[in-house]
Each structure stands twice: as C-alpha cells, then as structure tokens.
Structure 1
Amino acid sequence: MKGIFSALLVPFDENGTIKEQGLREMIRQNIDKQKVDGLYVNGSSGENFMMTTEQKKDVFRIASEENNGQVKLIAQVGSINLHEAVDLGKYATELGYDSLSAVTPFYYPFSFEEIKYYYETIINETNNKMIIYAIPALTGVSMSLHQFDDLFQNEKVIGVKFTDGNFYLLERLRKKYSNKLIYSGFDEMLIYGAISGVDGAIGSTFNINGKRAKQILSLCQEGNVSKAYDIQHVTNDLIEEILDLGLYQTLKEILKMTGIDAGVCKEPFEAFNPDKLEKVRKLVSTFDL
C-alpha cells in the first residue's frame, strides 16, 4: 500500500454522464504510462461530491474491472450522508478494494465524537480497512495529535491521507506511528512530505505527472534531496500553469491531446476556455505521456 497513488479523474459528457471508455483509458494511462502504484478512486479529483450514488458505484466497478488486480485500489467513500458512505463502503469491499478511505464529515460543525462515530460505523459495517482523509482547507475539520491518537487506536484505521500544510503535526504523527501509513496529499509539497518520511502520496496531477512524483519520493528515500528538489521545482512550475488555466479542466484537456476521451467537468464547474488551448499544447510536451 506504499508509493504513488493517482487521485483518479473521471470523464463526463456535457450532460454529466460518465464516459466509460474514457474512464478506462484514464486508468490505463495511470497504470501503463505513469506506472503508479495505486489508484485513489472517487476522491475530490473525480468530482465525487457532485455524483449520484449510482455514478459513484459505476466508477468503483469500472476501476476494479479495468485494474484487474494490477495495482492497489483505495475507495474514497466519505459522504455527509453516513448511510451512503456505508453503502458505498460495502460495495467497494465486495469489489475487493484494498482499503476504504473517507473524508471527514463536513459543512456542519461536527464534534470529534461525531466524527469518530462516523469512521467507526463505516469500519464496523464494512469490516474493511480505513484511511482517514484529512483535508482541513476544504472540510473545516482540523484534528489534533490527540484526536488522531484516538482514531488510530482502531487497528482497522491503517493510515491517513494528510492534505494539510501542518508539517509539525505530520512529523509528530510519523514519529509516533511508524506502523501507520501516511500519504502526502499536496502534490506541490510532496518533497516536504517525503523528507518527513511519508509512505507515499495521493494526488490529482499524478494522472499526468506520476513519473516525476515517483522520482521525488524515491530520491528522498535514497537521501538525494538535492536532485529531488530539482524535480519538485519543475513540477511546481507546471502545477502553477495548470492551476492558472483551471485544475481539473486542464488535466482533462492535456489527456485529450494524447487521444484519451477525457470529457469535461461536471457542472457547476465552468467549461474549459478554448482560447487557452495553445497554452495547453505547450504544456503537453513537458509531460511523459
């Protein structure tokens, strides 16, 4: 369960319907071309929170079929609707996903006891492993070391996707929990997570930049931080350009230029501005696709 996991993108048509063949092509791109170690399915990058329950199940099924046991699969089942989270967790478990993951419940100011109950319910109902998804910038939920301690007492909680810039907390977690998996969640900060001893990383840009991410992680593990920084600098220059053009829209446009039916983003995301296509064409040549 260690290494680089792509946060899998999902292609949609203009009506918000999943383009199954395009999704299969994206999965093959990640496994065959980017050589990722695993896929994180139905996370933010897959526009999960704008999909119906049945669409989420379709993505889980298609990813499982196309992967066919080649790389590790993590199913993000988190939802503000606990019953949906449990339903999705059971479905992904039946499909053979290696672990579940769940974003902390959001929007309402849930207490830590309510958050703990949420995770324990999913675990107990599915009997599967769980990776906490901590992303306070989007959920508003910041957990302390003591609260992570509490969650980690459950042996089924095997780790955390740490999408947080609090590197002091990351260092404390790494030191105390050598037996838990810690994944870096910020692509542009991968090197700092790698230096801190993370087990891997999960990111959206790995769909097209997985090879560089693998290099950064490996070089840091080998102690060659200087060379890793060189690659992170290149990576961050590219990420800045992608963010300026629109993250998910641009990733899909890049994949389209390689022949993948990457579709469009779900509304209310805005459509990609065709006036920016020339900038995307220049970007394509900088990735090993």
Structure 2
Amino acid sequence: MKTKLGGIYSALMVAYDEDGNINENGTREIIRHNIHKMEVDGLYVGGSTGENFMISTEEKKRILYIAMDEGRGQVKLMAQVGSVNLKEAVELGKYATDLGYDALSAVTPFYYKFDFEEIKNYYNTIIEATGNYMVIYFIPSLTGVNLSLDQFGELFENEKIIGVKFSHGDFFLLERLRKAYPDHLIYAGLDEMMLSAAVLHVDGGIGSTYNVNGIRAKQIYTLAKGGKIKEARELQHTTNDLIEGILANGLYQTIKEIMKTQGVDAGYCRQPTKRLSEEGIIAAKELAEKYL
C-alpha cells in the first residue's frame, strides 16, 4: 500500500465563476495542468484548497466526479470526505468509493470539542460504511484538534487507517510517528517544510502550492530521499520565497492567478474569500515571472 499510494499530491484547486458556481471546464483544466505540467503523482480532492468547507454536499460530489472522470488511470486519487456532519462524511465516502477513489481522507471533526473516543468512532464509522482505506487529515492549526502518538496508535489499530496527512509543525511528533509506525503512510502537509519532512522519510506530500510548484516539490522530495541535501535545500529556499510571496498576497487567490499566467482558466475563489485587487493581480504575475 505504501508503494502504491506514496508520492506528491496536489491539494486540488477548484475553479469557481464570478457568482461562486463550479466552473467545470476550468476545473478540468486545473486537473490536466496538475497531471501533465506539474507531473504530480496524485490528486487530493475535496480538501481545504478546494474551498471544500464552503460548498454544498452536491457540489462536493460534483467535484469528486469531475476529478475522477478527468484523472482516472493517470494519477492516484484520494478523496477528502471529512465533515463535522458525520452523515455527510459517510455519504461522500460511499460516493467516492463507488467512483473508484484509491483512498479516502477525512479531517478530524472540528469546532465542537469532541473527545478522542468520539473522534475514533467518527473514523471507524466512515470506514465501516465504505470499506475503503482512510488517511487521517491532521491539521490542528485549523481544527484545534491535537492527537498524541498513543492516540495515533489507537487509530492505526483499524487496519483500514493506512496513514496521516501531517499538516502540523510539530516535527518531534512527526519523527516519533515515523519511527513507531514505519508501515503507515505519512504525507507532509506543509509545503514550506517538505525538505525537513523528507529527511525524516515521509512517504510523500500533499500541498496547495503544488498546483503551480509541483515540479520543484517533486525535485526537493527526490533529492532529499537520495541524500542530496544541499541541492534540495537550495530548491526549498526558492520554494519558500515563492510561498512567502503567495501568503502575503492571499493564498488561494494568488495560486489561481498564477495558474492563469500559465494558461489555465483557474477562475475565482468562493466568497467570503475576497478578490485580488489590481495590485494583487500584478503581484501574482510578478511571483510567477520570478519563481516559476
């Protein structure tokens, strides 16, 4: 399973039109761009980068369908189905599994202060209903949910939970996870720390900036795995210069604007995310010219 599902995945962006509706043609362009230009190993569909927590269940299904229809047989496909609404998570998990997704992922249930038994039941319920593999989406900075090494171990007792998308800066916990669970998948979830994670022998990465910086991310990962740390470090420096500029200008809006400079109809972000100003559009183009 590690061999099959490892590698670099773009956290897939979704093109929306000016009214916030899914732009299907633009979304298909984004998928093709990731596969053919960024040369990613997989697509992580339905995550934060796709603005997933601002859209309806039916819209989430539509995106899952588009990604499978466009990407089937070309890259690995992982569906993020997590929701604070467990019934929705199960519904989406069944839908993605029926479509043929290689694995599911689910963000830890958030907002309400669920205890660990409730979190464990959430994952086990999705797995029992779908029969699919599960990758935990661990992003405590946004969910407020922390998991300990022992708690990860308890979750991993379910043989269908095959790994974790580790979007957290606690690299002590990352190292402990890697040592304790060598047979589970660990994906680096922080694009700016790919080199550091690769040195600890993660199995790949899942990131939003890979929609425009996927080639360089794969190079960092490959070089680090091959022990070529100096070369990887230089590429990480350049990557982080790019990321710093993107974050300062507006994360998702800027990535979409950069994709437009690369010939992709990446559309707009869904409200309440604001539009880029003219200055912001110019800044995005300058980032693309300088770093890509």
Residue in 2 aligned with 1:106?
110
2:163 and 2:171 mapped to 1: Cα distance?
A: 16
Query: Structure 1 residue 47: deviation in Å?
Result: 0.2
2:242 and 2:225 mapped to 1: Cα distance?
A: 23
1:286 and 1:120 mapped to 2: Cα distance?
A: 46
Query: Structure 1 residue 170: deviation in Å?
Result: 0.6
1:127 and 1:157 mapped to 2: Cα distance?
A: 11
2:285 and 2:171 mapped to 1: Cα distance?
A: 36
2:44 and 2:119 mapped to 1: Cα distance?
A: 22
Residue in 2 aligned with 1:209?
213
Q: Does 1:33 align with 2:18?
A: no
Residue in 2 aligned with 1:166?
170
Residue in 2 aligned with 1:85?
89
Query: Structure 1 residue 287: deviation in Å?
Result: 5.0
Q: Does 1:53 align with 2:87?
A: no
Give the alignment partner of residue 248 of structure 1, picking from 252, 257, 265.
252
Read off the aligned partner of 1:152 and give its amino acid letter. Answer: F
Residue in 1 aligned with 2:122?
118
Q: Does 1:267 align with 2:271?
A: yes
Residue in 1 aligned with 2:25?
21
2:262 and 2:74 mapped to 1: Cα distance?
A: 23
Question: SS of 2:79's equivalent?
Answer: strand
Query: Structure 1 residue 90: deviation in Å?
Result: 0.2
Q: Structure 2 regions of 5+ residues with no counterpart?
A: none
Query: Structure 1 residue 68: deviation in Å?
Result: 2.2
Contact 1:39 1:73 in 2 (8 A): yes
Query: Structure 1 residue 260: deviation in Å?
Result: 1.4
Residue in 1 aligned with 2:240?
236
- Percent identity of equivalent pairs: 59
Residue in 1 aligned with 2:159?
155
Residue in 2 aligned with 1:76?
80
2:284 and 2:129 mapped to 1: Cα distance?
A: 45
Contact 1:208 1:287 in 2 (8 A): no
Question: SS of 2:206's equivalent?
Answer: strand
Question: SS of 2:122's equivalent?
Answer: helix
Read off the aligned partner of 2:8 and give its amino acid letter. Answer: I
Read off the aligned partner of 2:267 and give its amino acid letter. Answer: G
Residue in 1 aligned with 2:227?
223
Question: SS of 2:88's equivalent?
Answer: helix
Question: SS of 1:284's equivalent?
Answer: helix
Please report the TM-score for the alignment, with normalisation by the length of structure 1. 0.98
Q: Structure 1 regions of 5+ residues with no counterpart?
A: none
Residue in 1 aligned with 2:11?
7
1:184 and 1:284 mapped to 2: Cα distance?
A: 24
Contact 2:105 2:135 in 1 (8 A): yes
Please report the TM-score for the alignment, with normalisation by the length of structure 2. 0.97
Contact 2:238 2:291 in 1 (8 A): no
1:184-199 → structure 2 map (5 Å cutoff): 184-199=188-203
1:197 and 1:158 mapped to 2: Cα distance?
A: 16
Query: Structure 1 residue 258: deviation in Å?
Result: 2.2
Runs of 4+ in 1 over 4 A off after TM superposition: none
Question: SS of 2:162's equivalent?
Answer: strand
Question: SS of 2:255's equivalent?
Answer: helix
2:275 and 2:178 mapped to 1: Cα distance?
A: 41
CA RMSD of aligned residues (A): 0.8
Contact 1:209 1:287 in 2 (8 A): no
User: Residues 223-272 of structure 1: CA distance to partner in whole angstroms, max 9, x if unpaired?
Assistant: 01111110000000010001111000001111112221111111100111
Query: Structure 1 residue 277: deviation in Å?
Result: 2.3
Contact 1:182 1:199 in 2 (8 A): yes
User: Residues 154-211 of structure 1: CA distance to partner in whole angstroms, max 9, x if unpaired?
Assistant: 1100000000111111111101111100000000011111011100000000000001
Give the alignment partner of residue 137 of structure 1, picking from 133, 141, 145.
141
Name the stretch that deviates more: 43-52 or 273-282: 273-282
Read off the aligned partner of 1:88 and give its amino acid letter. Answer: L
Contact 2:15 2:26 in 1 (8 A): yes
Question: SS of 2:268's equivalent?
Answer: coil
Question: SS of 1:40's equivalent?
Answer: strand
Question: SS of 1:285's equivalent?
Answer: helix
Question: SS of 1:250's equivalent?
Answer: helix
Contact 1:75 1:100 in 2 (8 A): yes
